[in-house]
Amino acid sequence: MIDREFHLQDHDLYLEAFKLAVQIPRGKVSTYGAIARALGDVSASRTVGQIMSADRPRPFPVPCHRVIYSDGRTGWYTGMGQGAERKREMLREEGVDILDDKVQDLERNVFTDFIGDPLLRRMADAQREIASFVSQKGDATRFERLAALDVSYRGDEAFAAMVVVDREGQVLEERTARCTVNFPYVPGYLGFREMRPCTAAMGGPRSDTLYLIDGHGRAHPRRAGVACQFGAVHGVAAAGAAKTILTGAMKGDSLILDGEEAGRLVRTCDGRTYFASTGHKASLDSVCRAISSLPVDPMAMAHRLATKGRRSAS
């Protein structure tokens, strides 16, 4: 049984990372990778670095200066290219030995005994569960309504937009939504950043509509990108229409993942290209036919509407 609340919740990854950072004792350091591993996925180390330097309110003092690179380099403080010397000064004041911008005797000085919520691991498990529910069967060309969803961001604010067109390209509906998102972009976890804003823009789910999501579906490391989450959680037909590749390799127009075609390059009426993949209740062949046969590009229209919402917001 899919836990809808978990997929639609505003998970605060910033807070979870801060809770780990405060555990680093004075006189010790840890690494971005160690915190990412404690969160459940070491590949999120770059995101941890962005979190530590994020300009946002914090509910308690966070010793971000104690978080360094895995090779011992101290790195920046308060943002890329900023505060490097200040960070080294703070560490030296706490008794950390630094030479040539690197922490000495790192193995002895590094702290890794974190206690916390492995949120990313729980999310990955939830995605694998979604993958088991996804249906790759269904004719996407039978839908008379096609709804494209896109999200634009300003800091932690998400501006989502949905544009619905019919088979002739006539706009049937436009909707927008704005909300705060406390989950930064982490490769492979886009659904947990965009499910809430997309759901808000959608309104009520409709069984007579194919939802085209700006992101991947089955063309995902765990076969459950944002399009799969959206489709399975809401029980609607959905497809991914991504602008870039997340994983896999192209062979001709096919996106190959673990020896199988997980996605396909599709061209719109005006020459734009997307990496299409099944989200739910629609086959890849029919998804590609549905997108390429439209006389308009609803994904581009949704993108423009989301961008307009962001730019005009006070």
Identify which of 253, 189, 199, 250 has the alpha carbon closest to the alpha carbon of residue 224.
189
Nearest Cα to Cα of residue 177 among 299, 279, 298, 310: 310
In sequence order, which residues have a C-beta less than 8 Å from that of residue 281 and are 6 or more positions away? Answer: 135, 137, 138, 231, 236, 237, 238
Q: Of 64, 198, 228, 288, which is the active-site residue?
A: 64
CA 183 to CA 14: how far, in whole Å? 7
Residues facing 158 on adjacent strands = 153, 179
* Cβ-contact 138, 236 below 8 angstroms: no
| Alpha-carbon separation of residue 5 from 1, 127, 236 (angstroms) | 12, 14, 17
Local structure of residue 77 (DSSP, 8 states): S
d(CA 77, CA 80): 7
Report the distance separating Cα 67 and Cα 260, nearest Å.
40
User: Which segments within the chain are labelled E, that is strand?
Assistant: 30-31, 67-68, 98-99, 102-103, 145-154, 157-166, 171-180, 209-213, 237-242, 249-251, 254-257, 260-267, 273-280
- Cα separation, 190 vs 184, whole angstroms: 9
Residue 64 is a catalytic residue: yes
**Both tokens assigned to 308:** 């307009």
Q: How far apart are CA 309 and CA 68, in angstroms?
A: 37
Give the active site residues.
Answer: 64
